[in-house]
A and B are shown apart, each in its own frame.
Chain A
């Protein structure tokens, strides 16, 4: 790993935000809108019904923020690659002395940067609008966020692999990857809401453990470390599998001439 190369790549991607304020705005626009819509929706439901929604609204706000951690981490990886594809820069990049793992590390850093910005903005909004203090979760945030980011990173590698294989036609698919696991991850509801079959799938995803764990903490204040360890194990499995898929697709793209094709089309 050459740190200078990674920094060069991170500079390449982050300069886009510095140069173009619209991009920075866009980065926080969608998460903010999500938070507003979901938050006000629950407040509305609360007014219309008699039940106690205090806990529910906390679940939902927490879930919205947590989901964005996963989603932005995935985007950091996928968008960086798309950025190079859109600007027809892939050939110059991969003809430079860059190792694939350096490239991946740089995109992971972009994911981290995106997550940081989005979480700061969302947690401030949540505090201001709904008196939801994300940092009430204290130290449990660290393992939760780490798990979600690593999983997002794996999904990002899958997204790039799809584009490497099917070119621009797979672009929308690359965006959709996190949403394929969203219903199974029990983001906005507890796992037992799901049909039995789906529950089995749910427990194979590290994200499920995080969202369940988050709700548990909000409800009882207790952290289930055991399930976190399981999640970590599954996460590492996913990381290896998606890494292997990525390396394989890249090598395949070099073999079939797909890399030069998507780079120049």
Chain B
């Protein structure tokens, strides 16, 4: 197997007293979708924001495309992208203007064609002249995804991308992400509180608790290990009983 697209080594981040991410070492393979699961405040978002250079790690390192992140930030950022419900596109520009601006920022060659292609892909051409701030949350999620795919990223960081979608759209988005992943051999790091999301889309799951890995494996492996019927039960088990497992020796399944 080839080298991992993304690898963190002993990544830690503390905000004052709070240890948000604790010695996180993970690897994401090419073409793989890796789910980051964990209770509120487990450190998922912080981990992702470090991989985007928005937060500087307290210690540890991040390698993306086998390059050190801090040293090759711009090059790496041009080949990855992210989407999340808490980061908007300028809400006083139209959908079309936003996509053009971000194409430029990502150095896309054929700006108009690309923006057009993205709107097609996520089915929002009819919204092209709408002000982004006036979109419904589902529509703006799709616009965010358009932005996330605009530079044909090789690695995608998705922080709760389906959080505000209705079940129908959520299913469509999942299917689409999965299809694009296969077509483009894309690697994705994915967080969600929707177990359905995680089960259907992720090849492998990492459970975080208080910033460190408790368990990792496929959804079936994890369920079997904890002798639970569903991932949701596993989640509740870990969230309420997390300290039962020694976080210093994450269980590899």
A contact residues vs B (CB 8 Å cutoff): 2, 4-5, 7-9, 11-12, 15-16, 19-20, 83-84, 87-99, 251, 254-257, 259-260, 263-264
Query: In the bound complex, what is the Cα–Cα distance between A7 and B54 (angstroms)?
Result: 23
6 A-B pairs closest in CB distance = A8-B104, A91-B87, A97-B78, A97-B77, A95-B52, A254-B56
Query: In the bound complex, what is the Cα–Cα distance between A101 and B106 (angstroms)?
Result: 16
- Contact for B90 among A5, A84, A97, A251, CB less than 8 A: A84
Give every chain A residue within 8 A of B100 (Cβ-Cβ).
11
B170 CB–A CB distance under 8 Å: no
B105 CB–A CB distance under 8 Å: yes
Pairwise interchain contact B86-A264, C-beta atoms closer than 8 A: yes
Residue from B53, B86, B92 whose CB has the most chain A CB atoms within 10 Å = B92
B97 CB–A CB distance under 8 Å: yes
Pairwise interchain contact A95-B55, C-beta atoms closer than 8 A: no
Q: What is the size category of the interface that chain B forms with chain A?
A: 35 or more
Give every chain A residue within 8 A of B103 (Cβ-Cβ).
8
Q: How many pairs of A and B residues are in contact by the CB < 8 Å rule?
A: 105
Query: In the bound complex, what is the Cα–Cα distance between A212 and B13 (angstroms)?
Result: 52
Pairwise interchain contact B102-A254, C-beta atoms closer than 8 A: no
Give every chain A residue within 8 A of B105 (Cβ-Cβ).
5, 8-9, 93, 96-98
Give every chain B residue within 8 A of A19 (Cβ-Cβ).
92-94, 97
Give every chain B residue within 8 A of A89 (Cβ-Cβ).
87-91
- Closest residue of B by beta carbon distance from A18: B97
Additional pairs, 7, CB under 8 Å, beyond known A98-B105, A264-B87: A9-B105, A12-B93, A92-B102, A94-B53, A97-B77, A263-B54, A263-B87
Query: In the bound complex, what is the Cα–Cα distance between A2 and B84 (angstroms)?
Result: 26
Pairwise interchain contact A99-B74, C-beta atoms closer than 8 A: yes
Give every chain B residue within 8 A of A254 (Cβ-Cβ).
53-56
Query: In the bound complex, what is the Cα–Cα distance between A11 and B102 (angstroms)?
Result: 10
Give every chain B residue within 8 A of A255 (Cβ-Cβ).
55-56
Pairwise interchain contact B54-A259, C-beta atoms closer than 8 A: yes
19 sampled A-B residue pairs with Cβ under 8 A: A5-B107, A7-B104, A8-B104, A19-B92, A19-B93, A19-B97, A87-B92, A89-B88, A92-B88, A95-B53, A95-B54, A95-B82, A97-B77, A97-B78, A98-B74, A254-B56, A257-B13, A260-B55, A264-B87
Query: In the bound complex, what is the Cα–Cα distance between A255 and B90 (angstroms)?
Result: 25
Known: A89-B89, A94-B54, A95-B77. A256 touches B107 (CB 8 A): no
Query: In the bound complex, what is the Cα–Cα distance between A259 and B52 (angstroms)?
Result: 12
Query: In the bound complex, what is the Cα–Cα distance between A87 and B106 (angstroms)?
Result: 20
B101 CB–A CB distance under 8 Å: yes
Known: A95-B52, A97-B77. A2 touches B107 (CB 8 A): yes
- Name B1-60 residues within 8 Å CB distance of A: 13, 15, 46, 49, 52-56
- Contact for B87 among A12, A92, A97, A98, CB less than 8 A: A92
Cβ of B51 to closest chain A Cβ, rounded Å: 9
Query: In the bound complex, what is the Cα–Cα distance between A20 and B91 (angstroms)?
Result: 13
Cβ of B91 to closest chain A Cβ, rounded Å: 5
Give every chain B residue within 8 A of A95 (Cβ-Cβ).
52-54, 77, 81-82, 87
Give every chain B residue within 8 A of A99 (Cβ-Cβ).
74
Query: In the bound complex, what is the Cα–Cα distance between A98 and B107 (angstroms)?
Result: 10
- Contact for A15 among B73, B84, B93, CB less than 8 A: B93
Known: A88-B87, A89-B88. A8 touches B101 (CB 8 A): yes
- Contact for A20 among B53, B75, B92, CB less than 8 A: B92
Pairwise interchain contact B90-A96, C-beta atoms closer than 8 A: no
- Closest residue of B by beta carbon distance from A92: B87
Give every chain B residue within 8 A of A88 (Cβ-Cβ).
86-88, 91
